[in-house]
C-alpha cells in the first residue's frame, strides 16, 4: 500500500521558536496533502489542504501565518509552526492522496511539545 | 456541530466474536465513507470504504454497511482478533469549494480479549 512518512516523529522546542515538520509520500505522487491536528481524546481536525504548486487552503480558525504550509513537490509537504507556544503542543498528522475520491494515506504523526 | 458521530467511546468483545462499530452522520452532502484504525502515537491506517451509492462493502473480515435513510453506517469485524484492538475512526467525505474534505468522528476504542 501507499506509504507516507513524517519527520520528525517527536520534537520538543522552546516557546517562541519555529518548528518544521516534513511529510513525504514514498511510493506515489501526492497531488493533494492534508494536515491534521489531534487533541487528546478528540477527533482528527483538518487544518489545511495543500495542492502541489499552489497555496494551501486553511480551515476556519486555523492561522495561516502561524502554520505555514508548503507543498513544493508531488512527494513533499512541510508544516512550519512559527513562534510556537505551549498551546500548540499536539499530535500533527499529515495525509496524502494521489487522485480525487480515493482514500487518504496517513503518516505516522509528529508529537510536538512546546515548553 | 459534530457532523460525524461515534457515540460509543469504547467496545470490548471476546476473541472470535463479532465487533460492531457504529457511526452516524448529519450532513447529507457526504458521499463517501471510510473507516480508519489507529494505534497510539501512530497515524490512522485505512481499513475499508463505501460509496454512498452502495449499501455494503466487504473486505475479508471487515464489512461496512451504509443506511443512507438513517444516515448511519457500521463496521463489522468477524471474527474479532486481539490484534484488532485499536481506536477506530469513522470518516465521511464531501466536496466543498472544489476541494474534498474528510470529517472524522471522535473514534471508538475497541478491545478484543483473548
What's the pLDDT tens digit per position in B42-96?
Answer: 888 889 999 999 999 999 999 999 999 999 999 999 999 999 999 999 999 887 7
Q: Does B52 touch chain A (CB under 8 A)?
A: no
pLDDT (0 to 100) of residue A92: 95
Question: By the 8 A CB rule, do B28 and B52 touch?
Answer: no
Q: Compare CB distances from A108 to B43, B93, B104 and report the shortest one's residue.
A: B43
CB-CB under 8 Å, B43 with A4: yes
Average pLDDT over chain A, rounded to an integer? 90
Q: Does B42 touch chain A (CB under 8 A)?
A: yes
CB-CB under 8 Å, A41 with B106: yes
pLDDT (0 to 100) of residue A79: 97
pLDDT (0 to 100) of residue B19: 98
Question: By the 8 A CB rule, do B27 and B35 touch?
Answer: no
Average pLDDT over chain B, rounded to an integer? 92
In Å, how far are A9, A26, A47, B55 from A37, measured between CA atoms? 14, 22, 7, 31
**Does the pLDDT of residue A78 top 70, yes or no?**
yes
**Does the pLDDT of residue A40 top 90, yes or no?**
no
Selected residue of B35, B36, B43 to mutate for chain A interface (largest A Cβ count, 10 A): B43
The region that residue B53 occupies, defined by phi over 0 for left and psi between -120 and 50 for alpha, beta otherwise, is alpha
DSSP state of B7: -
pLDDT (0 to 100) of residue B67: 97
pLDDT (0 to 100) of residue A1: 64
Instruction: Summarize the confidence of residues A33-52 as an average pLDDT.
Output: 86
Q: What is the pLDDT of residues A46-64, one digit of tens each?
A: 999 988 878 898 998 999 9
pLDDT (0 to 100) of residue A53: 79
Instruction: Summarize the confidence of residues B20-37 as an average pLDDT.
Output: 94
CB-CB under 8 Å, B41 with A106: no
**Does the pLDDT of residue A99 top 80, yes or no?**
no
pLDDT (0 to 100) of residue A102: 64
Record the cell numbers describing residue A66, joined without a space: 502561524
Helix, strand, coil percent content, chain A, rounded in steps of 5: 5, 50, 45
Q: Compare CB distances from A44 to B97, B99, B104 and report the shortest one's residue.
A: B104
Report d(CA A23, CA A34) in Å as an integer: 10
pLDDT (0 to 100) of residue B1: 63
pLDDT (0 to 100) of residue A86: 95
- Please report where in the chains the cell 499529515 appears, as a residue: A94
CB-CB under 8 Å, A106 with B45: yes
Amino acid at each position: 500500500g501507499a506509504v507516507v512518512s513524517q519527520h520528525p516523529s517527536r520534537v520538543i522546542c522552546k516557546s517562541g521558536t519555529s518548528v518544521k515538520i516534513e511529510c513525504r509520500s514514498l511510493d506515489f505522487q501526492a497531488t493533494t496533502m492534508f494536515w491534521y491536528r489531534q487533541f487528546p481524546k478528540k477527533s482528527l481536525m483538518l487544518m489545511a489542504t495543500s495542492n502541489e504548486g499552489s497555496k494551501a487552503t486553511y480551515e476556519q480558525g486555523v492561522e495561516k501565518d502561524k502554520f505555514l504550509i508548503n507543498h513544493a513537490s508531488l512527494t513533499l509537504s512541510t508544516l512550519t509552526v512559527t513562534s510556537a507556544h505551549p498551546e500548540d503542543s499536539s499530535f500533527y498528522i499529515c495525509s496524502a492522496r494521489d487522485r480525487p475520491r480515493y482514500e487518504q494515506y496517513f503518516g505516522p504523526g509528529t508529537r510536538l511539545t512546546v515548553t | 456541530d459534530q457532523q460525524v458521530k461515534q457515540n460509543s467511546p469504547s467496545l470490548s468483545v471476546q476473541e472470535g466474536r463479532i465487533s460492531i462499530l457504529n457511526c452516524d452522520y448529519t450532513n447529507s452532502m457526504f458521499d463517501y465513507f471510510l473507516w480508519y484504525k489507529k494505534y497510539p502515537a501512530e497515524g490512522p491506517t485505512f481499513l475499508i470504504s463505501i460509496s454512498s451509492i452502495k449499501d455494503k462493502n466487504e473486505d475479508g473480515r471487515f464489512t461496512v454497511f451504509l443506511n443512507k435513510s438513517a444516515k448511519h453506517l457500521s463496521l463489522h469485524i468477524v471474527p474479532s482478533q486481539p490484534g484488532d484492538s485499536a481506536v477506530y475512526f469513522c470518516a465521511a467525505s464531501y466536496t466543498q469549494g472544489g476541494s474534498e474534505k474528510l470529517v472524522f468522528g471522535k473514534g471508538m476504542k475497541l478491545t478484543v480479549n483473548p
